[in-house]
Structure 1
């Protein structure tokens, strides 16, 4: 296991003796961050015996939940973002939107400017952001001594975060990436990929990867809807998917579509999917690289969200938050089928 993990890291181990990382911090305990922070805290406690993971979340209840789950010996709760960034040597952030990311890093920069570090400090931005924001964050931190920014988005749904099977993408200062990679693998992910020194490359690659997932969702949604209209049925098409395309996105999202399991609290919330689709469409526009499948997926996400909002207004919504696989509602409605209930309305009868 150790040998496999080492093979999955594109960096040699940090030099010894050298800078010793005493404290690690984690800001953001959402659908992905909670699992990543939990696994990181457990791994450090069982393998390094160092100080507890320091966590901060705007809703303290999530931090308290994490501490209750794995113990106060493994998790320490910071009272503020400023405390987190000043006390820790490496700080990971996993946040919901570009606006939140910028706001948090402005807090970090203000605290560090008032109390300049005297030893290396690494900030690792793991959220899905638009690439140009990485440059803005770098500018915020550039005049603070000993401070390095690494962009480190991850690939994988919450289930992969839960099982520490994420793929970690890193860009930025080489030595900092080396430190970060050996913290994350195998504690949080199964593999680290080096995208070089340009901080924008990691978030750019994250959007490229998410465009593939969005394309997968759109292909499944269209094929399943056509199967229903043809009287064959989406479940039959899903059986073929499992045989022909036995990859996690096809199998996992296909299952959600055919079983109407659109709970965004257990998956990837549709608002996050819409944010990513908008980022991808902006990127392809800037680079003159058309991606019509993402345009189609974007429209179907909007349709699904609009229908869901109307259902919530009428008190008829099954889920508080939709998973982005619910974009199948767009193709279903376009085909004259019910948006979220595959058992309704009457379908073509098989011969």
Structure 2
């Protein structure tokens, strides 16, 4: 044996508990392993098996993970673009969307060797080590994961990362379902508008085992996000609990801006003068939404940036969460009522910013400015 003794990966399993959750990994020399074999604990030398047992998808040669992305809505498209442009992965990135034309259109805007459209969820899972999902609601993600786990052997050892906004109970249910199938799970909901997804300026919230969140980190800060909130080793539902509560801040912000702009218009101050105040005092999302209101963007888009149906779904989750612990969300009740009016007026084109139109109508103005 060379004096520079070869480095080997090993796993140390307690004889009383051989469950994978009890495995610890480190690096030993061959001679160290020989010495340790005489000890009380079993020491199993392995190389490639660490990949499946512990979920370390990077091999001893440092190869990059294969990725798949399921769900290409307003957020998913921008996130994929940044992963392709700035992420390190084994190309091509497999992309799937229920409406195939949307996946084909996105692929046409990216380098041809960097993405590949697949026609089914099982195909996406079979060809990837890490599978990202970003879909609209709880029912959609439950259907997606059921399809992904249709062949348990194909999913075993793989990492699922869900970026959807769903109830924390749904997230915890998914975590149990996925880990029971021998795979791994990280919740990674994101904060930010589609424009921030496109520019890589989201905020990612990661929850789950630290060994798995560490595998997701390289695709968050500096790629999809400007900053991350790390809930490693906390229940996966902690991330979506924050997301649901955080989204109440956003809808209440739109409500406040809407009422302020209506009052400014009716009292004679004017929307432009109010916007100057908002821009000076509250730069960031307040300014962005204020600009959308005064320019009429809330009623001019064919495809909403933040669909009013999805905003109501988030509101329902927040109200259910509040009810479960005896909290009150009176402001959210007002917002939800206005979102209902937005949908009645605009249907599927309704945007969260349409709250402004609902407040205008209540104050004797036209919905559209």
- Shorter-chain TM-score category? 0.7 to 0.9
Change (3 A) 1:193 1:279: same
Structure 2 residue aligned with 1:129, among 147, 155, 166? 166
| 8 Å CA contact retained: 1:264, 1:323 | no
Q: How does 1:246-325 map to 2 (within 5 A)?
A: 246=283, 248-262=284-298, 263=301, 265=303, 267-309=305-347, 321-325=349-353
Structure 2 residue aligned with 1:81, among 121, 125, 145? 121
Alignment correspondent of 2:362: 334
Alignment correspondent of 2:210: 174
| 8 Å CA contact retained: 2:136, 2:310 | yes
Change (3 A) 1:57 1:330: same
Alignment correspondent of 2:199: 163
Which region of structure 1 is more displaced relative to structure 2, 200-209 or 35-44?
Answer: 35-44
| Residue 131 of structure 2 corresponds to residue 95 of structure 1 | no
CA deviation after TM superposition for structure 1 residue 91, in Å: 0.4
Which stretches in structure 2 are left out of the alignment for 5+ residues? 1-56
Change (3 A) 1:183 1:27: same
Aligned CA RMSD, in angstroms, stands at: 2.0
Distance in 1 separating the partners of 2:96 and 2:292: 32
| 8 Å CA contact retained: 2:205, 2:229 | yes
Distance in 2 separating the partners of 1:150 and 1:98: 16
Alignment correspondent of 1:30: 73
CA offsets, 1:159-202, max 9 Å, x none?
00010001010001111101101122211111121124201100
Change (3 A) 1:185 1:17: farther
CA offsets, 1:238-261, max 9 Å, x none?
111111212x22111111111111
CA offsets, 1:199-255, max 9 Å, x none?
110000011111111111111111111122212222221111111212x22111111
Alignment correspondent of 1:9: none
Change (3 A) 1:96 1:264: farther
SS of 2:297's partner is coil
CA deviation after TM superposition for structure 1 residue 265, in Å: 2.1
Change (3 A) 1:15 1:73: closer
CA offsets, 1:257-304, max 9 Å, x none?
111111262521221211111211111111222122211111111112
| 8 Å CA contact retained: 2:149, 2:155 | no
| 8 Å CA contact retained: 2:167, 2:241 | yes
Which stretches in structure 1 are left out of the alignment for 5+ residues? 1-13, 310-319, 343-351
Alignment correspondent of 2:276: 239
SS of 1:232's partner is coil
Distance in 2 separating the partners of 1:245 and 1:172: 34
Between the two structures, name the one with larger relative contact order (CA 8 Å, sep ≥ 6). 1
| 8 Å CA contact retained: 1:168, 1:193 | yes
Distance in 1 separating the partners of 2:287 and 2:252: 14
SS of 1:212's partner is helix
CA offsets, 1:125-166, max 9 Å, x none?
101001100121122223222x11111000100000010001
State the TM-score, normalized to the length of structure 2: 0.80
Structure 2 residue aligned with 1:42, among 72, 75, 85? 85
CA deviation after TM superposition for structure 1 residue 16, in Å: 8.4
Distance in 2 separating the partners of 1:79 and 1:115: 16
Alignment correspondent of 1:56: 96
SS of 2:303's partner is helix
| 8 Å CA contact retained: 1:35, 1:158 | yes
| 8 Å CA contact retained: 2:125, 2:155 | no
State the TM-score, normalized to the length of structure 1: 0.84
Change (3 A) 1:326 1:264: farther
SS of 2:349's partner is coil
